[in-house]
Each structure stands twice: as C-alpha cells, then as structure tokens.
Amino acid sequence: MGLFDFFGGSGPEKALKLKPKVTQKYGDPASRQKAIQQLGEMKYPEAVGVLMARFTITVEPLTTDADEKEHVFELIKGFGKDAIPPIQDFLRKSDQAASWALRLLGELLPEPEIIGTCVDTLTHLSTHYTRDPEKKVVLLHHVTGREDPRIAPAVLPFLEDMSDDVKIAALKALGPFKHEPAREPMLKLLTAEETARRVQTAALAALHDSGFGVQGFREKVEALLVEPYVLDRTGVIRRQA
C-alpha cells in the first residue's frame, strides 16, 4: 500500500471537487483556506494538482495572497517526491505560475533534472501556440547561464516567436553557448526589417557573446551597430572599452 492509499475517506475525487473553492477569488477567504488545508492533508497526487491552481489567481489583500501562496508552497513541498509528477504536469499544461512550479521543483529535484524538465517543456511549447508569453520567458530565464548541451537546441526555435520578450530571452540564453546552428538565425533576426530595435540590441549582444562572424551579413550588420559594439576586420562583433 502506497502513501496515497491510506486516506480512503478522502480520495482523488474529493480533491478535484475542492478546486472551485481553492480558486475562489471572492467571498469568505476562510472557505478557500479550509480547502487548501484539507488538500494538504490528503496526500493524493490529485491534491497537488489542485493546490497548484492556487498559484494561478491573485486575491485581495495582497498580503493574504502572498501568505496563502507561501502556505500552499510549503504544503506541496511536504508531499516530497510524490509531488514531482503533478508539478511537472502542471508546468506543461498551465500557461500561468511557471515560476512557482520551478521554485517547487528546485526544492525537490537536482538541477540537471530541472533543466531536463525545462527543456522538455520548451520543446513542447515551440510547436504549440500560447497567447501569453510569460511561461516561455520564465523557462528561458531559468536555463540562461546554465551549462547543459540540451539547452541551445531547445531554445533556438524561440528566435522566431511572435513575442519580442521571448526573442530577447532566447537571445540571452543562446549567446554564451556558441551554438553554430544559431549563427544564421541570429543574424537574420538582427537584420530583418521588421525586427524591433530592442531585439536588435539583444541580438548584437548575443552575437558578441557567441563570437560568431557576420559573414554574408556584414553590410547589413554594420548599418545596425550601436555603441558599444563595433565590427572588427575579421567580421566579429567586439565591445569597445
């Protein structure tokens, strides 16, 4: 008998039925808080999924909202390793609260496994439309600065995202990797007529970090250079002192 088999009187169905109370923004907060506490005591994986939904809403006053979310965080953490699959499922399916999911995984998994979850989720997102770019940005920020060969191929498709914030986050993540397949896409993004100026600035920084040459794009790149960036004789973007 496993951990989730001890609570016969409060099964998965009961956990799922509590979701409307957990996500109730208005009315008596005591009802929401009672449901949260009940879920924390159930020890069913479905309870974790319902508790995660609390991170997707904001209630007034904000001090109550912050306190409740921290309480939910601690309750989920208390599930231990059994919480990992429901959190990963939430991260994959929900467009909201990705930062909370990653924070929880940070308490429950070693960093290489968290990176694997991020890479898997980014790979899924790269082929599925999402209206809100926040989740992509959160995931891209999390993998930025990490040294893992799985990251660059997963990030590369986001140079073509519709959101400028996503493009900028992808450029920041890609630059230090010196990932050769990213050279031409970064140059195309930099030199495209429709590219916003702030994205062009991020592209210049990423190309500088990568050390890639601008062969095939030199004339267009020269026209877009801004301080502190210059192009040396070999076609590599340098930063002036």
DSSP-derived secondary structure for the chain: --GGGS-TTS-HHHHHHTHHHHT--SS-HHHHHHHHHHHHHH--HHHHHHHHGGGG---SSHHHHHHHHHHHHHHHHTTGGGGHHHHHHHHHH-SS-HHHHHHHHHHHS-HHHHHHHHHHHHHHHTTS--S--HHHHHHHHHHTT---TTHHHHHGGGGG-S-HHHHHHHHHHHGGG--GGGHHHHHHHHH-TT--HHHHHHHHHHHHHHT-B-TT-HHHHHHH--TTEEE-TTSBEEE--
User: How much is the pLDDT for 3?
Assistant: 45
Rounded Cα distance, 217 and 50, in Å: 51
Q: What is the pLDDT of residue 7?
A: 42
- Distance of alpha carbon 101 from alpha carbon 36, whole angstroms: 17
| pTM of the model as a whole | 0.90
Delimit the domains of the chain by residue range: 1-83
Whole-angstrom distance, CA of residue 117 vs CA of residue 190: 30
Say if residues 48 and 83 touch (Cβ distance below 8 Å).
Answer: yes
Is the CA virtual torsion 214, 218, 221, 222 positive or negative?
Answer: positive
* Confidence at residue 10, expressed as pLDDT on a 0 to 100 scale: 53
Residue pointed to by tokens 């923004």 = 25
One digit per residue, the tens of pLDDT, for the chain of length 241 reads 344 444 444 578 889 999 999 999 998 999 999 999 999 999 889 999 999 999 999 999 999 999 999 999 999 999 999 999 999 999 999 999 999 999 999 999 999 999 999 999 999 999 888 878 999 999 999 999 999 999 999 999 999 999 999 999 999 999 999 999 999 999 999 999 999 999 999 999 999 999 999 999 999 999 999 999 999 999 999 998 7
Residue 225: Cβ within 10 Å count: 13
- Give residue 104's pLDDT: 98
| Distance, CA of 122 to CA of 128 (rounded, Å) | 10
Q: What is the pLDDT of residue 1?
A: 38
The two structure tokens encoding residue 229: 């960036």
